[in-house]
Amino acid sequence: EMVIKQWQEYFLALKKDLANAQGKVCFTSDLWSDQKLRPFMAITAHWIARANKDSMLVLKTALIAFHHIPGNHDGQSLGSMILYLLD
């Protein structure tokens, strides 16, 4: 319960950071299998922000999704999974 609560608090703060990005938010994704050949996907967000009103711009990154990917790994199913996770 404590881990889920911490994640929810982190995610609310992350959403505020992303909403205050100084431009567009970009995403990268990586897909791999663990030692038992179970496939996983990670999605990372990248954006430019200011530490405070008078500061220089800084690059920020955050892991926004980490998910088991069942089923086919064709373009359509992976695209659908990315859209689902970003939603």
Q: Which domain holds residue 19?
A: 1-86
Domains contained in the chain, number: 1
Q: How many residues does the chain have?
A: 87
- Residues whose CB is less than 8 angstroms from the CB of residue 69 and which lie 6 or more positions away in sequence, other chains included: 31, 39, 40, 41, 78, 81
- Give the pTM: 0.78
- pLDDT value for 72: 76
Angle at 26 between CA 19 and CA 32, to 5 degrees: 125
- pLDDT value for 43: 94
- pLDDT value for 76: 87
Quote the tokens at residue 57. Answer: 């711009």
pLDDT tens string, the chain, 87 residues long: the values are 889 899 899 989 999 999 989 999 999 999 988 899 888 999 999 999 987 777 889 999 999 999 998 877 888 888 888 999 888
- pLDDT value for 27: 94
